[in-house]
Structures are given as C-alpha cells and as structure tokens.
A and B are shown apart, each in its own frame.
Chain A
Amino acid sequence: MAEQQPYDDIPGTQVFDAHRSREGYWLNMFCMSLMKDENRKAFKADEAKYLDQFPMSAVQRDAVLKRQWNRMLELGGNIYYTSKLGATDGLSFQNLAALMTGSTQEQYAAMMLAGGRSPQGNRSKSEWKDRG
C-alpha cells in the first residue's frame, strides 16, 4: 500500500509518482508499443492476443480492453501513454478528456471555450464530496 501523500487530496487527479509508475509499467509500455504502425495494426487485429506480450495485471488488461480511461489511470496508467491507445482509436486529447470527465464532446469543448474548469470547488477532495 502506498504511503499517503499531500497531493492525494487533489480531486480527480492521479499524480504519476513512484508507486503508480511501478504499478503501471507494463500497461504504459504496452501503450508505448503503439507508437509503431505495425503494432497498431497487430493490436487492432486481435487485441487480447496482442496484450499477451505484456505481463500486466488482469484488471489492467480488462481496463484496456474495455477502454476504461479513468480506471487505467487509477491502475498506474499515465495520460501521455494512454493517449497513445486513444490515438490508435482515433481519439485526440480533447476527445479523451471528454470521456474521462463524463461529458459529451460538445459539452467539454463548450466548457473550455468558456474558460475551462474553474479552480473554485476543484482544489480539494473535501469540495467534491457531493460528487460521490
């Protein structure tokens, strides 16, 4: 179990520290492999078989197959790596952000155009209690 850190209080945020980096090593290195076009094709052709090359945990593997973007981050994924899986699916950073925040693309783009997510109410987990 990882030691409690001061940044754990920041809501909706997984800081990619030593603990998460170690847990997510193979999940992230799988994503890194998708930098090559031939690997993207092999993955798309048979996702489960392709994932066999990477000794990640069963829950990590399940999160990848189900494209659970927030779950991947909770399991040690890093956004700069998981975004490569997103790119393989044809998703941009903004597309992924909409999915991770539970918004439609239109809602998310409109929020950004209106100045983005405010710091007010988004600094501490104590402010997110109502969100469950």
Chain B
Amino acid sequence: MAKLIAGVTTSHVPAIGAALDNGKSGEPYWQRVFGGYDFSKKWLAETKPDVVFLVYNDHASAFSLEIIPTFALGCAESFPIADEGWGPRPVPVVKGHPDLAWHIAQSTILDEFDMTIVNKMEVDHGLTVPLSLMVGQPKEWPFKVIPLCVNVIQYPPPTGHRCYMLGKAIRKAIDSFPQDLRVVIFGTGGMSHQLQGPRAGFINSVFDNSFLDRFVTDPQSLVKIQHLEYIREAGSEGIELVMWLIARGALDDEVRQVHRFYTVPASNTAVGHLILENTR
C-alpha cells in the first residue's frame, strides 16, 4: 500500500529560483536562505520518496482570469516549466504519477471535494522553487510529482478549514492506493508577505513564529483563522498559508518535527520551513 511518510512546508519566493539559476546562491544574502535547507536536502535524499504530492499556487502562468479553479489536480504524465516573462527556469521537466493522481481525484471527489482534473498544465516557480530548495540542481527530479494547484490570487481562496479537510481526504486516498509507494506531501507558499501597493514589504515575524509553533502541535487552532486575519496580520499574499493546512491535514494528528527554519527576508518575503514526520 502507499504510505504517507512526512510533510514539508516551505515558502516559494521566485527570487530564490533566480538566485540559484544565476549562480548567486553562495552570496551571503542567499546563503542565509539556502543554509536553512542543507539539512533538508540530506533528509529528503535519505527519505527517498517515490512521489511528492506538491500543494502550490500558480501565479498567472498556467491559469489566467479566463479559468480560475479552486483546486486543480495535475493528472498528466509530465508538466512543462512555464515562461514567467524571463524565459523558463533551467530545471528538469516535472514528471507526474497519473495512476496515483487519478486515484486521488476519484477518491476525493467521492468524498465530496469538487476537484478540477488537469491533464495539461505548465508549472511555475510556485512548484519548482520548493523542488530546487529541497533537491538542489539535479539532471532529473529524483521522484514523481503530483501538483495540486490552489487558487489564492482571486479572492476568496478556499478557507483554512476546507484546506485542512481536503488534506484529510487526500490522506485517505493515499492510504487506499494498492501500490507500495513512499509519499511525501509539500505545502508551499507564505509566510507573511505583501507584494502589492503602499503596504508592500509587510512582514510579521510574531505571527509567523506562532503559526510555525501551532502548525506542529495545535493545527486545529490555525484552521479557524479567517481570511481577514491572514490579510491583516500576514499581508495580502500571506494568505497563501492556507495551502500549508492541506499538508497538515494529510499528516497524522501527532507528528515529529525534524527540522524548522525561519528567516527574513528573501526579496519581499519571510521564509518559513518545516519538516514533520508521521510517527505511526
């Protein structure tokens, strides 16, 4: 049977990808960020997942205002890298796992989550930056990836509670997949940041650190946070943190924290990162 081993959460700042791609990762500014992932790369290499289920958001790359799915599940064989205006990032094509992806689609829809099934989708920095942070610069990604693209751009995004419950449905689907597969779930985005308008540059490290604490031991309290509070306390783009709750919902209630990292800034954003293992 497939087994969910662990969860990884991380910010997905585009400038991190640009720094890596342009050979700047050794500079002190960026070393402060990348240094927080040295342990993580070793951990992931030793954990050897077969599949990463990666929760992220598209930034007007694959989807525009023409079609705005709330939860879009990537069921394709592969996902090309999007050109975000600077040319596609020089990273390997992302290979999917259609068998497990379709199984999750069917299982979650019958569990009353109205997923959008996507068979053609380019993936942008929201998906590739977390991979780069956790793997580095390989010729091929060492696992298959199932992308779950969540709308957090058009207000309102799904609630934190809905995301958490979807995580539980995804877990149920993984647990019922007959093939032996080791699965790790990534929840990406956040932490506090605001990219737009006169309030740009907003960072709330008190909110972020409380979120990191409670994410491990008391996720139920995070599920209650309303959109208004995210925007006010974590910035208009900090609302991306609802995506972390999908990963948390999929994990066991009790988890073992094996790594935690927080730094400000990467470009406009606070970077937060956790690795949590299931204990059962």
A residues near B, CB below 8 A? 6-7, 10-18, 21, 25, 28-29, 31-32, 34-35, 37, 40, 70, 73, 78-81, 83-84, 87-88, 92-94, 96-97, 100-102, 108, 111-113, 115-119, 122-124
Q: Which residues of A contact B237 (CB under 8 A)?
A: 79
Q: Which residue on B lies nearest to A78, using beta carbons?
A: B153
- Whether the Cβ atoms of A84 and B265 lie closer than 8 Å is no
* Interchain CB contact (< 8 A) of B85 among A17, A35, A78, A115: A35
- Whether the Cβ atoms of A7 and B231 lie closer than 8 Å is yes
Q: Which of B178-202 contact A (CB under 8 A)?
A: 192, 194-202
Q: Which residues of A contact B65 (CB under 8 A)?
A: 21, 25, 28-29, 32
* Closest CB in chain B relative to A111 CB, distance in Å: 6
A-B contact pairs, 6 of them (CB 8 A): A12-B198, A93-B15, A94-B15, A100-B200, A101-B199, A115-B203
The stretch of B2-10, B44-52, B204-212 in contact with A is B204-212
Q: Mark B230-243, 1 if CB is under 8 A from A, else 0.
A: 01110011000000
- Whether the Cβ atoms of A80 and B15 lie closer than 8 Å is no
- Whether the Cβ atoms of B196 and A14 lie closer than 8 Å is yes
Q: Which residues of A contact B154 (CB under 8 A)?
A: 16, 21
- Whether the Cβ atoms of B199 and A13 lie closer than 8 Å is yes
The stretch of B56-64, B92-100, B107-115 in contact with A is B56-64
* Interchain CB contact (< 8 A) of B270 among A18, A21, A113, A116: A116
Q: Mark B123-163, 1 if CB is under 8 A from A, else 0.
A: 00000000000000000000000000000011110000000
- Whether the Cβ atoms of A117 and B201 lie closer than 8 Å is yes
Contact (A93, B267) CB under 8 Å given A13-B194, A117-B199, A123-B232: yes
- Whether the Cβ atoms of B265 and A116 lie closer than 8 Å is yes
- Whether the Cβ atoms of A6 and B85 lie closer than 8 Å is no
Q: Is B77's CB within 8 Å of the partner chain A?
A: no
Contact (A94, B228) CB under 8 Å given A29-B64, A100-B196, A101-B198: no
**Distance A14 CA – B155 CA, assembled complex (angstroms):** 11
The size bracket of the interface on B is: 35 or more
**Distance A30 CA – B18 CA, assembled complex (angstroms):** 25
Q: Which residues of A contact B202 (CB under 8 A)?
A: 116-117, 119, 122
- Whether the Cβ atoms of A11 and B199 lie closer than 8 Å is yes
- Whether the Cβ atoms of B232 and A80 lie closer than 8 Å is no
- Whether the Cβ atoms of B64 and A32 lie closer than 8 Å is yes
* Closest CB in chain B relative to A107 CB, distance in Å: 10
- Whether the Cβ atoms of A101 and B86 lie closer than 8 Å is no
* Interchain CB contact (< 8 A) of B199 among A29, A40, A78, A122: A122
Q: Is B165's CB within 8 Å of the partner chain A?
A: no
* Closest CB in chain A relative to B165 CB, distance in Å: 24
Q: Which residues of A contact B192 (CB under 8 A)?
A: 116
Q: Which residues of B contact A115 (CB under 8 A)?
A: 203, 205, 264-265
* Interchain CB contact (< 8 A) of A117 among B153, B203, B232: B203
**Distance A122 CA – B235 CA, assembled complex (angstroms):** 10
Q: Which residues of B contact A112 (CB under 8 A)?
A: 201, 203, 264-265, 267-268
Q: Which residues of A contact B265 (CB under 8 A)?
A: 112-113, 115-116
Q: Which residues of A contact B199 (CB under 8 A)?
A: 10-13, 101, 117, 122
Q: Is B252's CB within 8 Å of the partner chain A?
A: no
